[in-house]
Amino acid sequence: MDYTLLQTRELAGIFSDYYKDVHGIRPRWVDHTDRGVLMAGLTALDDYMAHMRSTPEGREQLQEDGWILD
């Protein structure tokens, strides 16, 4: 997804939801008005998920956590 096209409020919502989906809690400590922080956070989550999908163990863990992998 190209996050650069979204408004900061939209980024904040997507980041909060995505973080909760991955880690089980909302990142209340993150400044949801700081576009740079939000972009870095989304990139880190994307990188984490790509890494998890790249190994058999990671894929297995994601599936156990309820993620549907293609």
Query: 5-38 pLDDT, tens per residue?
Result: 889 999 999 999 999 999 999 999 999 999 999 9
CA quadruple 32, 37, 39, 43: dihedral positive or negative?
A: negative
Task: Please count the helices (runs of H) and the strands (runs of E) in the chain.
Answer: 3, 0
Phi, psi dihedral angles at 4 (to 5 degrees): -65, -20
The token duo for 45 is 């989550």
pTM, 2 dp: 0.85
For range 32-52, the mean pLDDT? 95
Residue 55 pLDDT exceeds 80: yes
